[in-house]
Structure 1
Amino acid sequence: MQTLIISLTASLYALASIASATYYGYIVEHADNKNQTLFLMMIVMGITIVFFRWLFDLINQLIMVRFVGNIIYTIRQKMLQSLTSKQVFDFKKKKVSTYTSNLLNDVELVDRDAIEPYFDFVSQLVIVVISSFAVLYYQPIVFVVILIGTIGVFLIPMMMSQKLQQKQSVFSDESAHLTESASDILNGFETVKSTQSVNKFLIGFDQVNKQYTKAKISSGKWIMANHVTSGMLGMLVQYAAVLASIWFIMNGMITVGIMLTMVQTMNTLVFPLIDIFRLIPQIKSSKPIMDKIDALANVTALNLTTSDESLDFTKQIQLKNITITLDNQKILTDISLKLEHSKKYLLVGDSGSGKSTLAQLLSGFITDYEGRFLLDDQQLNNSEYLFNCVSYVSQTPYLFNQTIKQNIVMSQLFSESKLTKVLKQSSVSDFIQNDQQLDDELLQNGQNYSGGQRQRIAIARGLYQQKPLTVLDESLSGLNSKLAHHVESQLLSLPNTALVHITHHFDMSLINQYDSIIWIKNGQIKANQKPEKLLSNAEFQSFLKVKS
């Protein structure tokens, strides 16, 4: 439909242009006529024709801009929807800066080199076809000259398209590297400054920027060469056609007025041809980037199966013989574990023992594993269903550029009483002076609050979701001992929520309130026992002494 509308408006513009060319010829033919009334009519008619030519061209361009804008909007929406349909594990296989570059830089390249040129190509092609019929009507031989010349010169821009594709692909990759380098410096600004590494990062950015600039210049050179070559070839076609027209005048076969009409019509034909010579290689050059965007925008959405929809965590979660291998290294080996609803579990182990990997498995972030995952004795087929059952709070939570209230409530229905409750449980209420502060906008990742305050906001967010299982992955590590004790005791007192708390800071005054301590060592469960029993284990006591 969009192509049809553009074709229609281009047709109207082409017809107005041909009418204008015909009118020029008519004026010349009647230049020796001394009829003033006819002269005034010529003025009115000329203004009318010029106005409609301008109007149809304006309508065509405005419609084109609207179509291009809507298409780019749809592409970005579809890309982001597809990216967010990825499993978390798959999403993390690429850097965020790469996705950002795809969404911003690559889409802009497609806008510039594919979408806009496509509609421009359609417009110019329609104009060429209609103008060709006009030239064919006035003088078929001139049309044949233009046709032969066009076929001959058409091959040269086509030969340039392959090189343009290579240059545009390199430019896209360098754009991603530039985005990544800039993001590293800006996101890690405090670390860069405090470690006195500004010069080191600037040198690195300079190298990446040089590569980006080199790719941009190289790509731009080929684009400009394509434009200039297309223009030269188009002018050669026009020059040949004008020479043919002059030959016809010299032989008395056409009048000067007809020649002027033909020259003006040839302008309407040749200049769009020049654009077509330029547009075809430009559109073809965007194919690698289009393929990249198409791959991102067509990720198959993950749908819950019928069996998954019936799953719930009301009794127990069971892991049976779970093995997880990441980057050809076994992280968890033959793990079997049962978590009961409403019970509280302390998950401990050395650094690198697999604690966080187990937490991410329970939270639905890891999908590639061997073994069975059961919810209330039913097989889990899609790990994303766990998002309905589990609240996960990491050690380094992300806070959005929204208000504190919005960061806590997220997509849940707002409840004043529920919000007040979780603010107290997480100790967020300790630094919130009034309700208005809840509506304060956070800076990027909550940089206007301390690390401990950001962690408490994230804990409040997890509690607000009211999921059957809450997983804390070192989420209290940024709090002082008094605050950590308060928040941990609040979590242990939640009546209808299971808790898995990963920590290397043990609050011995609360440890006996856990139903079980899960001790992981070298990717395997070393023990899963009640606190009073495990605390009497000499090996575990040695582990605690090392940790303390």
Structure 2
Amino acid sequence: MKKEKQFYRNILLTILLHKKLYVGLWIFFCLLLVFLQILFALVFQNLIDAITAMKLDDLQIQIIYTCMVISGMCVCKYLRQILYAKYQKETFQYMKDFLMKAIFNKQIAIFHEVPDSTYLTYLSSCMTEIQTKFFDSLQAMLYDILLFLGAVFGIFYLNMMMGCVILLMTLMNICVPFLTRKKIMTRTEKSLHMNTIFLSYMKNIIKGADTVKFYGMEEAIHTQFSDINKKQEACKYQLQSVLCLSDTIIFLLNYVTVCVPWFIGAYFVLHGAFHLGTLMGISQLNNNVASPLQDFFTRSSLWQSGLKVMKEVLHTIDLPMIDHTNKIDDVRSITLQSVFYSSQHHKILQDINLTFKAGKKYLLIGESGSGKSSILKMLLRYDAPDKGSIKINGEYEVSQITNVYENMHIITQDNFLFEATLLQNLTLYQTDIREDEVITIMKKVGLSHLIKRLHNQIKEDKIHFSGGEKQRIAIARALLHPSKVLLVDEACSSLDGIMGHQIESLLLTLDVAILIEVAHHVYPDLLPCYDEIIWMKKGQIYKQGSYESLCKDKEFCHFLNLTEV
């Protein structure tokens, strides 16, 4: 637990101090601005004394000094703000890059434990919250502290007794606002949780809009939406109500801090303890005691809630990282030894022992739920076995290999297309793949008719691809990004017989070290092309062997007759 806390603390410090030069310069100009504000109070004191003494020459000199100090403050304020803006730009760019790498550095199984909407929230609205609540509040609070300390020092320099009075008022200002801090933190957390629920619900409903319309679910959906919307706004109101109470308390204390020193100071001026100029100087500095304190505690509440968001983002996205130790250059074999796997107390795989060797093509058949696709998911690390091992080349567990996806690709029945050009969808944004290579591959896989639309944006052009075209695009990707192992999961299940046969034939011609295909519907004339057929039933290997050996089995032939297209 301590190591985990230290890990996140180090990440936070790395992000905060990513640009140390900007941080150092920002602190320097903050200190200089505070010094000039103290100097302004002293000049203001002399200005008032010159007026009360009716000394015109001194007045003129003090006016010049005042203008010089104000000019210096303006320059320092601008430089402080522009440095913070540059720091923020660099830091957020670094942080989002870091988080994005961390997301895609996670194992797929762990990646999918977090809903997609949560990742979207963390990299969009949460970034805004972190910026406004955490970073903006933090830099403002640091400046408030420096300004407060500088003002207190200046007041003690002018008059020790007034310094003690103002410090007493300040201590009262510090203690009272702590009463509402815990409520603010609790309600901020609840509000953030409701925002995530709302986004997830909306994403789900929008995706299912067609179903809602077809089955007349509008009224039921609207009732659900109204309930979630009401809860979300109620959480936001509860947070705002406690923030309003906190602000009001601080507002009252701010006036008390200003007025009491004025009353006491006026008494001392009337009794000749010090000049009016000293009181005015103290009053000027007191503004930099009361006002920063009011801002400090308002911002500290926001900063605490921003820190919670920051921690939540880091904890959700950054752990666990993959151990970057083992890499492979080739795949000679994949071995599953005594593999057991269950999901929700349901046995999926039981004592699976398989070896896939380089240079061979494998076909996994069986009824739905027999565990065929689960084997592919294990190889891709979507799931991990409860017992047993999955090793590549007999050396490394597949879970310990960092470049497994460089050596293993998958084609499914639903291949994802990015909102980009067709060319980018084929090259997957790899700029070292030449366009003429892409065109050659497109012709090879039967996509010649799409060459003229290669540079069209899929979203803008509203390109709709047939199932066969999508599968051919997936095969083209596999050819343009060759891997040692190609996994195929029900790639032709949604295609008609002729198109499915064409795609299957094309897959069998691909030059890969190991081809492992899962199919529910098979084409009898293509079965001899597989080196080994594995028939699965109820999570176990029921029968396996070459087509020549299995076709003599009546039960096997009967099963094929039931499923062939």
Is residue 533 of structure 2 the alignment partner of residue 513 of structure 1? no
Deviation at 1:358, TM superposition (A): 0.8
Secondary structure of the corresponding residue to residue 31 of structure 1: helix
Deviations 1:83-108 (A, max 9, x none): 21111011111211122222223332
Partners of 2:118 and 2:162 lie apart in 1 by 53
Deviation at 1:473, TM superposition (A): 0.9
Q: Which residue number corresponds to residue 371 of structure 1? A: 388
**Partners of 2:341 and 2:349 within 8 A in 1:** yes
Secondary structure of the corresponding residue to residue 439 of structure 1: coil
Partners of 2:303 and 2:164 lie apart in 1 by 28
Secondary structure of the corresponding residue to residue 517 of structure 2: strand
Q: How many residues align?
A: 542
Match of 1:257 among 248, 272, 277: 277
Q: Aligned in 2, Cα 1:499/1:158: closer, same or farther, shift over 3 Å?
A: same
Q: Which amino acid aligns with 1:456?
A: R
Q: Which residue number corresponds to residue 309 of structure 1? A: 327
**Partners of 2:438 and 2:480 within 8 A in 1:** yes
**Partners of 1:6 and 1:122 within 8 A in 2:** no
Q: Which residue number corresponds to residue 480 of structure 2? A: 464
Q: Which residue number corresponds to residue 412 of structure 2? A: 394
**Partners of 2:359 and 2:514 within 8 A in 1:** yes
Deviation at 1:252, TM superposition (A): 0.9
Is residue 151 of structure 2 the alignment partner of residue 151 of structure 1? no
Q: Which residue number corresponds to residue 530 of structure 1? A: 546
Q: Which residue number corresponds to residue 12 of structure 2? A: none
Deviations 1:374-409 (A, max 9, x none): 323323251554313211122222222222222222
Partners of 1:444 and 1:304 lie apart in 2 by 40
**Partners of 1:311 and 1:376 within 8 A in 2:** no
Partners of 1:68 and 1:231 lie apart in 2 by 30
Match of 1:224 among 219, 223, 244: 244
Secondary structure of the corresponding residue to residue 101 of structure 1: helix
Deviations 1:274-311 (A, max 9, x none): 11222223323344323312313542431343xx3246
Q: Which residue number corresponds to residue 243 of structure 1? A: 263
Q: Aligned in 2, Cα 1:504/1:421: closer, same or farther, shift over 3 Å?
A: farther
Is residue 356 of structure 2 the alignment partner of residue 336 of structure 1? no
Q: Aligned in 2, Cα 1:76/1:242: closer, same or farther, shift over 3 Å?
A: same
Q: Which amino acid aligns with 1:77?
A: D
**C-alpha RMSD of the superposition:** 2.6
TM-score (norm: length of structure 1): 0.91
Deviations 1:90-128 (A, max 9, x none): 111121112222222333222222221111111010111
Deviations 1:297-340 (A, max 9, x none): 542431343xx324621x33221111122333321111111222
Deviation at 1:167, TM superposition (A): 0.8
Q: Which amino acid aligns with 2:146?
A: V
Q: Which amino acid aligns with 1:422?
A: I
**Partners of 1:6 and 1:119 within 8 A in 2:** no
Deviations 1:130-184 (A, max 9, x none): 1111100111111111211221231222222111111111111111112112222
Match of 1:98 among 102, 118, 131: 118
Q: Which amino acid aligns with 1:319?
A: L
Q: Aligned in 2, Cα 1:416/1:6: closer, same or farther, shift over 3 Å?
A: closer
Partners of 1:511 and 1:499 lie apart in 2 by 14
After TM superposition, the structure 1 = structure 2 runs for residues 131-150 of structure 1, keeping only pairs within 5 Å, are 131-150=151-170
Q: Which amino acid aligns with 2:116?
A: V
Deviation at 1:214, TM superposition (A): 1.5
Is residue 145 of structure 2 the alignment partner of residue 125 of structure 1? yes
Secondary structure of the corresponding residue to residue 454 of structure 2: helix
Q: Which residue number corresponds to residue 10 of structure 2? A: none
**Partners of 1:397 and 1:458 within 8 A in 2:** yes
Secondary structure of the corresponding residue to residue 336 of structure 2: strand
After TM superposition, the structure 1 = structure 2 runs for residues 55-454 of structure 1, keeping only pairs within 5 Å, are 55-305=75-325, 308-310=326-328, 312-313=330-331, 315-380=332-397, 382-410=400-428, 412=430, 413-416=432-435, 418-429=437-448, 431-434=449-452, 437-443=453-459, 448-454=464-470
Q: Aligned in 2, Cα 1:471/1:77: closer, same or farther, shift over 3 Å?
A: same
Q: Aligned in 2, Cα 1:69/1:415: closer, same or farther, shift over 3 Å?
A: closer
Deviation at 1:345, TM superposition (A): 1.8
- The unaligned stretches of length 5 or more in structure 2 are 1-19
- The unaligned stretches of length 5 or more in structure 1 are none
**Partners of 2:103 and 2:318 within 8 A in 1:** no
Q: Aligned in 2, Cα 1:353/1:422: closer, same or farther, shift over 3 Å?
A: farther
Deviation at 1:196, TM superposition (A): 4.2
Deviations 1:182-226 (A, max 9, x none): 222333444444444444434333322222211122222222332
Partners of 1:511 and 1:201 lie apart in 2 by 49
Q: Which amino acid aligns with 2:433?
A: F
Secondary structure of the corresponding residue to residue 450 of structure 2: coil
Deviation at 1:45, TM superposition (A): 3.7
Partners of 2:427 and 2:46 lie apart in 1 by 74
